[in-house]
Amino acid sequence: MRIAHPTRLFFTFALACALFAAVSAQAQKPGKLLIYSIDVEGGQSTLIVSPTGASLLVDTGWGDNNGRDAERIQAAMKDAGITRIDHLLITHFHTDHVGGVPNLVQRVQIGEFLDHGPNREDSDITRHDYAAYLKAIAGHPRRIVKPGDTIAVAGLDVLVLTADGEHIASVPDVKPEVNSACAGEPKWELDASENPRSVGILVRYGKFRFLDMGDLTKAKEILLVCPMNLIGQVDLFLVSHHGMDWSNAAAFVDAIAPRAAIMPNGAHKGGSPDAWQTVHDSPRLEDLYMLHTAEGSDAAHNSAEALIANPKGNAHDGYYFKVEASSDGSFSVTNTRTWQTKTYPAKSW
């Protein structure tokens, strides 16, 4: 029997130990939460991928357009390194949020569908889109969510705050505080559309907090923060309702006090001057990102071009924002048009 030279045995053993240590270090290295604010031209679609690779897609943008929005969702999925969607949450049944479902289910495997229950809006187009949604997801698992429910995305804490016009009574680990901004907030009328029925979620990864309220309108926003702020502060806010002034009440935005905000507006939808100013003036805000230049607004109520994914006159629409967050609360935002990234260091609460 031939015996290996002791030096060679020692080298082999040392190499194996080094490789094991490298693999172990990689396995123990904290991962990143990925959030993609996808350009669906004034609709909404947000892809959330946990450090484990588990995924949650919030809304699907518009239908038709030769599957444009489904393709843009797939582009974000490819960047994130995933091939299926574990959970697809529909915030409400307006066509710019649910219209893309029939196209998407033909292209992507989806684990389960989540929504607030039956359509509540008395309009032909919304009834049509709700029926198309039900037809598209027939045979797939579907769950109706309520405030206080959780969505099991491995590695994340995803809590439903609002659904079907109702809101959560308390948020675990958040101590409600008096919101002094409530005194100056007008009394807002409740509309009868699907908007106030929106499913709103709070996503937590360690100390990092992301808030997406769909198209929730002011009368329902206020219930979450007045007289007591039930949500606490967040790091990143997806500006509600594409940046329309039907949403984004000042007492709400000031209470959640985001460090950065992304406005999912279109060139000619959302991005209202009043909503832009409200978010811009919130007490902790460092940057307000926009998916498009709001062409119906003015220069004073548009962010700097470096913070806009698709500026006016840009010939290649479809650029998106990519957020990478760490469990210590730090995060970064990348504009995929320029590939410039800004990092927000962790801060104590």
Q: What percent of the chain has pLDDT over 90?
A: 88
pLDDT digits (tens, 9 = 90+) for 325-346: 999 999 999 999 999 999 999 9
pLDDT computed for residue 314 by the predictor: 75
pLDDT digits (tens, 9 = 90+) for 142-152: 999 999 999 99
Domain tally, the chain: 1
The beta strands (E) that lie in 50-199 are given as: 55-58, 84-89, 109-115, 142-144, 150-151, 157-163, 166-167, 177-178
pLDDT computed for residue 116 by the predictor: 98
Q: Is residue 19 part of a domain?
A: no
* Residue 315 in tokens: 């010939």
At residue 30 the predicted structure's pLDDT band, cuts being 50, 70 and 90, is: low
Secondary structure class of 18 (helix, strand, coil): helix
Say yes or no to pLDDT of 64 above 90. no
Say yes or no to pLDDT of 124 above 90. yes
* Residue 231 in tokens: 């949500």
Question: Lowest-pLDDT range, 15-24, 57-66, 157-166, 299-308?
Answer: 15-24
CB atoms within 10 A of CB 282: 20
Residue 290 near residue 307 (C-beta atoms within 8 A)? yes
Which has the higher per-residue pLDDT, 21 or 113?
113
Residue 98 structural domain: 31-344
What mean pLDDT value characterizes the chain?
92
Q: Is residue 25 part of a domain?
A: no
Distances (CA, A) of 307 to 9, 242, 296, 333: 57, 16, 18, 10
Q: Is residue 13 part of a domain?
A: no
Q: Which residues of 292-303 are buried (b: 16+ CB within 10 A; e: fewer)?
A: bbbeebeeebbb
- 64 CB-near residues (< 8 Å, 6+ apart): 99, 103
Question: Is the bond into 141 cis (omega within 30 degrees of 0)?
Answer: no
Which has the higher per-residue pLDDT, 26 or 306?
306
Q: What is the mean pLDDT of residues 188-203?
A: 97
Phi, psi of 176, deg, nearest 5 = -60, 140
Say yes or no to pLDDT of 27 above 70. no
Q: Is residue 11 part of a domain?
A: no
pLDDT computed for residue 132 by the predictor: 98
CA distance 211 to 203: 6
Phi, psi of 139, deg, nearest 5 = 90, -10
Say yes or no to pLDDT of 315 above 90. no
Say yes or no to pLDDT of 2 above 80. no
CA distance 323 to 91: 21
Which residue, among 80, 129, 69, has the nearest Cα to 103 in the 3D structure? 69
- Strand duo 331-335 + 321-325: pairing: antiparallel
CA distance 332 to 273: 26
Q: Is residue 6 part of a domain?
A: no
Q: Is residue 17 part of a domain?
A: no
Does the pTM exceed 0.85? yes
pLDDT computed for residue 336 by the predictor: 97
H or E segment to which residue 16 belongs: helix 6-28
Q: What percent of the chain has pLDDT over 70?
A: 90
Report the Cα 217 to chain-centroid distance in Å: 17
pLDDT digits (tens, 9 = 90+) for 261-312: 999 999 999 999 999 999 999 999 999 999 999 999 999 999 999 999 999 9
Say yes or no to pLDDT of 28 above 80. no
| CATH number for the domain harbouring residue 66 | 3.60.15.10
Q: Is residue 139 part of a domain?
A: yes
pLDDT digits (tens, 9 = 90+) for 150-177: 999 999 999 999 999 999 999 999 999 9
Residue 69 near residue 42 (C-beta atoms within 8 A)? no
Q: Is residue 20 part of a domain?
A: no
At residue 65 the predicted structure's pLDDT band, cuts being 50, 70 and 90, is: confident
Residue 63 near residue 135 (C-beta atoms within 8 A)? no
